[in-house]
A and B are shown apart, each in its own frame.
Chain A
Amino acid sequence: MSDDLAVQVRDLVRVFDTRKSFRKPSTRISALDGVSLELSAGEVHGLLGPNGAGKTTLVKILSTVLLPTSGSAHVLGLDVVSQAKRVRPLIGLVFGGERGLYPRITGRQNLRYFAALYKMSDIDAKKRTDALLERLGLQERADDRVESYSRGMKQRLHLARGLVGDPKVLFLDEPTTGMDPLAALDFRNLIRELNDEGRTIFLTTHDMTEAESVCERVTLIDRGQVLATESPRTLATWITRFERIDVQSAGQDVLNTVERLPGVSKLIRRDDGSARIETSNKDAMGEVMRLLVESGVTSISTSLPSLEEVYVSLVGDRGLTL
């Protein structure tokens, strides 16, 4: 495996046998169905998909918490199955949500405990804990019980706990679920900072904006299979490939003319008189623009498809948000 790869996954399969009751036969669920991907060292990589796509399963396997059914996965050159013990000191695991912390003790006590589990001396543990609490803005409430924390605070404590072992690779599973937009924004800044420190970050999400804003590359996953791995921008251009133009109040004649131009793949007319023009090559774009301007259409805007639209057209509209 190349030294530059922080994570390497090959044909990973994970099947679950779920047995609902003794009378019913067990059903086999394929959570991961031959997933392959690679993360370079120092990359911020997003895994995007709807609920049930297999994101959490992949994170669990990579963090050595779950075994794959077949296939292989390596983190920093180490096999997550046979060399799990060597992988663990190098990684950090961050789950989203309310669970995952001891509620009846303080944030500081939670961190100190996990720091000790990463085989830190008392002195180091104290230093690291204090530093993390400060960095994540939890200093003031550090000695309050976790059950009194807001969702955003709990999330930051999750992140602190994930960082306590100074991991080279950080796995975050839907870390901003339930966060308010401001908190989520702060969180993303934090991710960038961590990445600047040279950590590899693997982040799962079903939030398009998040993937777009933070990740260098995004893997789309659905029903246990990888659909694509590209940069967010590339994925966006992948479908319609080029910009589309939105126009307001262009006359029908103009629109008809535009529609007949070579390289115009689609023209959508809307009831309010506006229209969207999609092109299939760059040259056509210029032609359309010229025609519109010459016709006196002034209200023109261009855009690239959002990740959401890319996703929807790849997967079909399955209602991505919770």
Chain B
Amino acid sequence: MNTKNLDSIIEIISKSLKINKSKINSKTNLQKFEEWDSLGILTVMTALDKKFKGSIKISSFDKVKSASDIQKLLK
């Protein structure tokens, strides 16, 4: 598992949703956060697309529950 990518993903989630990084690890269920609403998800998707320059398969984002799930979408 590439921990560098995972750290970047957690950083993006934390910044986009304005949630303290300490509350998120690779397995944290993001759906428990109030900030993980439709607008929050779009903000995270935008930041991920920018960071990974289109190399993330965002069309499968509906199945995402955790940072680890997002990492699996990296092409």
| A, B bound | no
Interface residues of A (CB under 8 A from B): none
Interface residues of B (CB under 8 A from A): none
